[in-house]
Amino acid sequence: MAAALSLVLYAPLLAGAGVLVWRRPALALAFFVVGLALHNAAMAALYSTGVEGAALTAIQAWKEALLAVALARVFLDAVRGRTLPFRPGLVDAFALAFGVLAVVYAMLPQSVLGGGAGAEAVLLGLRHALLPVLAYLLGRSLLLGAPDLHRLGSLVLVAAAAVAALGLLEEYTLSVEWWRDSGAPGYFREQLGFDYRGPARMPENFAFNTEDGLFRRLISVFLSPLATSYMLVVALLLAAAAGALGRRVGVLLALLCAVGLLFTLSRSAVVALAAGLVLLALIRRRLLYGAAALAALVAGVAFAFAFPAIAPETHFLPTEIAEQERIARELGGLPDARGAALDLDDPSLRSHLSSLREGLETVVEHPQGYGLGNAGAVARRTDTRLIAGESNFAEVGAELGALGLVLFGAWNITLLWTLARRARSEDDSSVRAVAAGAAAALGAVLALAIQTDAYGVPWLAFCLWGLAGALARPSPAPLPFSGMAIDSRVDIGHVHLKVAEIDRALAFYRDVLGFEVMQRLGDSAAFISAGGYHHHLGLNTWESRGGSPPPPGTTGLYHVAIRYPDRRTLGDALRRLVDAGIPLDGATDHGVSEALYLRDPDGNGVELYRDRPSEEWPRAQDGQSVAMFNAPLDLPALLAEAAGSH
């Protein structure tokens, strides 16, 4: 019952989001930024209500569905326009080659490569390899301007601060017994296939196990300290690059992210943040970022020493004690709580370095790779023999061979170089800042990928690589000015509008405003004018029959302005609108003109105006420049003008 009800509620929500993304594919990135941060917590909550199996798998796929919708829209636009939405470059060639190689390896029999992955593992491995590539290609296909990029960067910061705040609240209020009774352990074990051994069967990094006690780490809505810390690192680097730290709200949000990052107790994330700040210093040539990198390292070490005195203590459940004692003996004992931050021989670090070394040795010994699904989290969740784990570079090499490792590295290094170059050459300062932040974030995540599966974290796969793709697209270069003014006899001959229905459009332009129909082509087009000209306005349904107005935030016609010869005829137009019950969006005296603003039945902006004589135009102090202004227009006086009262 719960599964059926959840699907009934989920379907219209996904359909509505799909419609919005279809109309404006860039919205997919915003959905990913917020939705993927909440994803694990939401799915665990659904699992606790009895939604599981195929029903929950379908709901989990919302992100892939929206990505597919966005890609389908940009592909359709490319087909219609008979041109690619971007000019391919070297970075795109590497990305495409890596993606194609992954598809080829997915089709190769495992027996040929020596792997042991089943069909499910291969598909999951293909998904792991392709999602960042597809998100990157989506970003490349989006033409995001400076305001779009600024809003997206701000959204990342706000969302990350919210994640940090929720994590701090959860860490100090929810007990291990609460987590035991929640849907999270079952979601990880039964739905995802991860049999964790942390307290209450949560992930092992749910808490920091030391000889001085068991201390909670911040997991927030990601249900993972590592995934949480990665989002916080990206947000902090974007904020630092964009100058958000120079504004009060930005400082507060960044401070909240920094505190949250410290409470994840992720040494690798703090080091990656410092590395990103150093990269930012090199890109922007500002020593301040280098000082910030040093401060981040010092703060990370100091907090690690203070962590046992600050973090809430937790405990293993009675049924878990014996198993945990055995695990501790296998690891050679537990680390000291206060010294672990600088202990280069602690079990976690040894495990990461050992996995990286063994993975690279595997690539050397087996350069053709074992095929998809034989490494990392995919192998663990599908009970496939693990060839390599933890390091993305080792995993890629073990699965896709030496060629896959080279292409993966070449794509991401070239992408990093492309972002850094745009951060130095872009004309718009706000775009330069976001590009620098994205470059620093990508560099930090690639550093993390040396020892962890950062590439496989969905938030990074969709959001970071999607944003990087959008920023890898350079702004068009300005065309040179010829120095010759246009002939003064040139004017605007006519405007052609896309409409949903010809009759509905004529009911406005012909029947209300009074234009004359000069020619009509059935239900596909009509040409109308004032005074017998062949047409001042064209109305067509060639690409818009039954369509809807474009959503806010898209480019296109702002409005079409129809000029009336004098104030009396403009007043007559106003009377026609009043008689037809058509509302105005505005009425303004600009000094040089008087204007009425409204929308036609298809949502197109329309301005009806009359010009004042040029000798009445307001002028600037130099006596030459026009000094237009916005003042309310006296509508009763305008109506009275039409009635002949003035």
Q: Is the pLDDT of residue 383 over 70?
A: yes
Tens of pLDDT, residues 93-130: 999 999 999 999 999 999 899 999 999 999 999 999 99
Q: Round to whole Å and give the CA distance between 149 and 399.
A: 35
Q: Can you give the pLDDT at residue 457?
A: 94
Mean pLDDT of 223-238: 96
Residue % of the chain over a pLDDT of 90: 59
Q: Can you give the pLDDT at residue 21?
A: 94
Q: Give the containing element (helix H, strand E) for 632.
A: strand 631-632
Tell me the domain boundaries of the chain.
495-643
172 compared with 491, residue with greater pLDDT? 172
Q: Is the pLDDT of residue 646 over 50?
A: no
Tens of pLDDT, residues 155-178: 999 999 999 999 999 999 999 999
- Per-residue confidence band for 281, with pLDDT thresholds at 50, 70 and 90: very high
Residue % of the chain over a pLDDT of 70: 93
Contact by Cβ (8 Å): 208, 311 = yes
Q: Is the pLDDT of residue 645 over 50?
A: no
- Per-residue confidence band for 290, with pLDDT thresholds at 50, 70 and 90: very high
Residue 84 to residues 70, 99, 140, 477: CA-CA distances in angstroms? 15, 18, 10, 18
Which of 35-49, 533-547, 566-580 has the highest mean predicted lDDT (pLDDT)? 35-49
Q: Can you give the pLDDT at residue 4?
A: 85
Q: What angle do CA 217, 219, 223 make, to 5 degrees?
A: 140
Mean pLDDT of 555-576: 89
> pTM for the whole thing?
0.76
Contact by Cβ (8 Å): 203, 176 = no
344 compared with 356, residue with greater pLDDT? 356
Q: Is the pLDDT of residue 476 over 60?
A: no
Q: Round to whole Å and give the CA distance between 261 and 165.
A: 11
Q: Can you give the pLDDT at residue 531?
A: 86
Q: Is the pLDDT of residue 425 over 80?
A: yes
Q: Can you give the pLDDT at residue 330?
A: 66
Q: What is the dotted CATH code of the domain comprising 495-643?
A: 3.10.180.10
- What is 545-580 written as a DSSP string? TT--PPPTT--S---EEEEESSHHHHHHHHHHHHHH
Q: Is the pLDDT of residue 502 over 90?
A: yes
Residue 307 to residues 8, 228, 312, 378: CA-CA distances in angstroms? 45, 18, 9, 33
